[in-house]
Structure 1
Amino acid sequence: METTSRVGTQSTPSASAAEGVPVARRTVDGYLRASFPWYGLDEAFTGPRWLMQVATTADGTVQHGSMGHGDEPSIKSDAAGAEKERFAVVVTVGASPVRRTSDGTGMLDATTVASAAWLAGSGLLAYTWPGQLDHSLRDDWLDQQTETAFELADDMDGPAWSELSLPVDGVPMPFHYRESEFGWVLAGSTGSGVHVGAYGRGMSAYGLGFSVVRDLGDYALQERGPGG
């Protein structure tokens, strides 16, 4: 699969670095350090917008991050409860070629649409678990389902995915799309060289459009959710 090794990990400021710095400021700074443009829902969406988290490599390079739209999602253990929420999270993945790790001990694969698909799929899983499952077993379930999301992202031409066209900066672009019991996942590329994934529930994916985020001030400047 042409993703990075699960496309990196979430950035966590050290205690010394974070001391005295508001969470909102740390979050915004992470987005500002990115070398690629961020994508969110276009102006047709008029609801709440909020920042989530960015992920970086060991040398501080921003790899990807997420932006939320609509209701702040919560963990749901049944489909009926999940349907009451309306949200869409947009994941932006910076395009990156095959390269060495920052410590020079290994190689990172290139990022692709599959990278965005896996991040979106695992992001949706962070807010769900089967109603019949005990809380103590959720971590095992999440590990299994995350591996499944990784395998599905590795087979973008497989039967689990369908195709749809959505506007990106006003230009129709092809996306891969799939549905699950708790929501939907889609992934595609933009004309600006980055990959976009998205996941959500309660909002139809077929009516979405994406555009470059021109002003981070349009988003609530606070950190939310585990799906960065």
Structure 2
Amino acid sequence: METTRVGAQAPVAEDGQPGPSARRTVDSYLRAPFPWYGLDEAFTGPRRLVQVGTAADGAVEYGSIGHGDEPSIRNEGSGDDGKERFAIVVTVAANPVRRSADGTGVMEATTVSSAAWLAGVGLLSVTWPGQIDHTLRDDWLDQQTETAWVLADDLDGPDWTTLSLPVDGVPTPFHYRESEFGWVLAGSTPEGVHVGAYGRGMSAYGLGFAVIKDIGAYE
């Protein structure tokens, strides 16, 4: 199975917060031709806009909504210390045909693997392993990003399990994996989009997803 990397994770500053190009106003989300997903109403904690990703022509291809704590890149554990509890939900447009940047050809479709890769890279972007120092983190991140890509391209492989979670109240299968840094999951919705998620300190087994009825309320 081959998939396409639909975009790179936005820049992250050394303090763990998204860089200037990562933050998006709600206008960017409103331009999307697909519905946005977040955790369902069972989650009563804080929610926030995180980032959007666009194609060469400016079309919105994916975006993220944060739930719970805003993660710090300097967390060195899996979140079990109670300092961070968050889940980031990534919505990816299901594009069966995508134009290349120069408009002369087409690219591979976005798939569940696209959502899995974005979620995996998202988790890495807020991870700082304790065994490496600042000067080596970029090398580690490059290596782990490629590993996340390989894993996302093999969702039926041994590194993934199947987890059923409600999407708008309907039980839906998701691909799920855990690591020392947190968890990642990805699946598709009845609305025709792919949903990925990653987090720490919050159990993925108790989550549910739902269409965000008014993304403008997040402004």
| Normalised TM-score (structure 2) | 0.89
CA offset digits 1:18-70 (Å, max 9, x no partner): xxxxx97x521110000000000000000000001101011111100000000
Instruction: Write the mapping of 1:86-125 to structure 2, written as runs, cut at 5 A.
Output: 86-125=85-124
Cα distance in 1 for partners of 2:80, 2:64 equals: 20
Query: What is the count of residue pairs matched by the alignment?
Result: 208
Deviation of 1:80 (Å)? 6.4
Q: Is the 8 A contact 1:2 1:111 kept in 2?
A: no
| Normalised TM-score (structure 1) | 0.85
CA offset digits 1:165-212 (Å, max 9, x no partner): 000000000000000101000000000100000000000000000000
Deviation of 1:11 (Å)? 8.2
Bigger share in helix:
1
Deviation of 1:82 (Å)? 6.4
Matched, 1:154 2:173: no
Q: Is the 8 A contact 1:165 1:175 kept in 2?
A: yes
Cα distance in 1 for partners of 2:80, 2:138 equals: 19
1:196 corresponds to: 195
Cα distance in 1 for partners of 2:111, 2:128 equals: 28
Deviation of 1:130 (Å)? 1.6
1:47 corresponds to which of 45, 48, 59: 45
Runs of 4+ in 1 over 6 A off after TM superposition: none
Give the structure, 1 or 2, with the largest relative contact order (CA under 8 Å, sep 6 or more): 1
Letter in 2 for 1:208: L
Cα distance in 2 for partners of 1:214, 1:77 equals: 33
Cα distance in 2 for partners of 1:118, 1:152 equals: 8
Q: Is the 8 A contact 1:27 1:54 kept in 2?
A: no
2:136 corresponds to: 137
Q: Is the 8 A contact 2:30 2:216 kept in 1?
A: no
Over the matched positions of the two proteins, sequence identity in percent amounts to 75
Q: Is the 8 A contact 1:2 1:110 kept in 2?
A: no
Q: Is the 8 A contact 1:2 1:115 kept in 2?
A: no
Instruction: Write the mapping of 1:58-97 to structure 2, written as runs, cut at 5 A.
Output: 58-79=56-77, 83=81, 84-97=83-96
